[in-house]
Amino acid sequence: MLNIDLTGRRALVAGVADDGGFGFAIAKSLAEAGASVCVATWPPALNIFHNLLERGKMDESRRMPDGSLLTFEKIYPLDAAFDTLADAPDDIKTNKRYKELGDFSIEGLVQRLTTDFGAPSVDIVVHSLANGPEVKKALMDTSRSGYLSAIGVSAYSLVSMVRQLAPLMRPKGSFLSLSYMAGERVIPGYGGGMSSAKAALESDTRTLAYEAGRRHGLRVNTISAGPFASRAASAIGIIDAMVSYCAANTPIPEVLTATEVGTTAAFLSSPLASGITGTTIYVDKGYHAMGMAVDRGTPGTV
């Protein structure tokens, strides 16, 4: 039997703050395949995440097939808007949700991993990070600062993470990020520069695959997932309508599950996908293949 086996491998999933999104589902799938999993969490959500874990509020979703609970090897603070701690402004560093955390930058994350596990020590890095402060605004109405913030956190942070984490990666390691159809087609309501960020993310995936492959022997891919009503996605404001529309117009007319994205991520992170890099993998029930909305009055519909 051909199995996904990640035994002995260490994964870092950046962007996990609860049990309701793709990041958590990916972390759980990696763990089910045998990997040890560390997560990185946005500082303003870190205490809430710890409280959910400590109070057992996530126990049901953490349940593994053997009855045990998913555990995280380490939980690190990470604000991917900052490459180094020096990049963070004083009002962030002195904020009550940040000031006791030490170095919460990408460089700080690398230093913590090195201290905890040495180098090389990581096999899989998952970038499940996105933020667009003006996501509800049309692109034409988006400010320069809102646009650049969306690009910085949602796309450039992958570049920074590949650059800074590559020396920590073991041979044949894998980077993986999460994209969305808005990077290549118009999704009205998905604004604030987030569509531009996803387009940049997919373009950067191809270039990073070449550069990280040649320099370090590492793979870089992205998953273009269908819409999913996570807590983070609620910021878009129309996520329920997006989910319903896609479920009605996909070749497989079902709502996408987070587990389907998680298992795809586990495959792409495994040796079974050793020949796949620089690729956008669609996990959207086939929505990307459609060129017309399904309508009973359209010839050829079923």
Here the tokens at position 37 are: 């999993």
DSSP helix/strand/coil, 163: helix
pLDDT category of residue 241 using cuts at 50, 70 and 90: confident
Here the tokens at position 73 are: 């090897």
Is residue 299 scored above 70 in pLDDT?
Answer: no
Q: Is 210 a catalytic residue?
A: no
CB within 8 A of 207, min separation 6: which ones? none
Q: Is residue 295 assigned to a domain? A: no
Whole-number pLDDT of residue 238: 76
Strand-pairing partners, residue 69, are 63
139-160 as b/e: b if 16+ CB within 10 A: eeebeeebbebbbbbbbbbbbb
Three-point CA angle 276, 261, 18, nearest 5°: 130
When pLDDT is averaged across residues 96-125 and rounded to a whole number, the result is 97
- Given the residues 76, 156, 180, 287, select the one marked as catalytic: 180
Whole-number pLDDT of residue 144: 98
Is residue 73 scored above 70 in pLDDT?
Answer: yes
Q: Is residue 5 assigned to a domain? A: no
Q: Is residue 219 assigned to a domain? A: yes
When pLDDT is averaged across residues 251-258 and rounded to a whole number, the result is 93
- Looking at per-residue pLDDT, the higher value among 299 and 2 belongs to 2
Q: Is residue 151 assigned to a domain? A: yes
Q: Which domain holds residue 95?
A: 10-287
DSSP helix/strand/coil, 69: strand
Average pLDDT for the chain = 94
Calpha distance 253→239 (Å, rounded): 17
Q: Find the CATH number of the domain harbouring 223.
A: 3.40.50.720
The total of structural domains in the chain comes to 1
Whole-number pLDDT of residue 86: 98
Q: Is residue 298 assigned to a domain? A: no
- Looking at per-residue pLDDT, the higher value among 260 and 240 belongs to 260
The secondary structure of 10-32 as a DSSP string is: EEEEE--SSSSSHHHHHHHHHHH
Here the tokens at position 168 are: 């920590």
pLDDT category of residue 276 using cuts at 50, 70 and 90: very high
pLDDT category of residue 301 using cuts at 50, 70 and 90: low
Whole-number pLDDT of residue 104: 98
Q: Crossing angle, helix 194-216 and helix 144-151, to 10 degrees? A: 30
Calpha distance 162→168 (Å, rounded): 10
Q: Is residue 150 assigned to a domain? A: yes
- Given the residues 190, 210, 245, 287, select the one marked as catalytic: 190
When pLDDT is averaged across residues 139-163 and rounded to a whole number, the result is 98
Whole-number pLDDT of residue 256: 94
Whole-number pLDDT of residue 286: 95
Is residue 233 scored above 80 in pLDDT?
Answer: no
| pLDDT, tens digit (0-9, with 9 covering 90-100), for 8-40 | 999 999 999 999 999 999 999 999 999 999 999
DSSP helix/strand/coil, 38: strand
- In which residue are the tokens 């090389």 written? 120
Q: Is 180 a catalytic residue?
A: yes
Q: Residue 214: in which H helix or E strand, if any?
A: helix 194-216
What's the pTM value of the predicted model, to 2 decimals? 0.94
CA dist list (Å): 249 to 79, 180, 221, 264, 294: 36, 16, 26, 22, 5
pLDDT category of residue 195 using cuts at 50, 70 and 90: very high
Q: Is residue 200 assigned to a domain? A: yes
Whole-number pLDDT of residue 242: 87
pLDDT category of residue 95 using cuts at 50, 70 and 90: very high
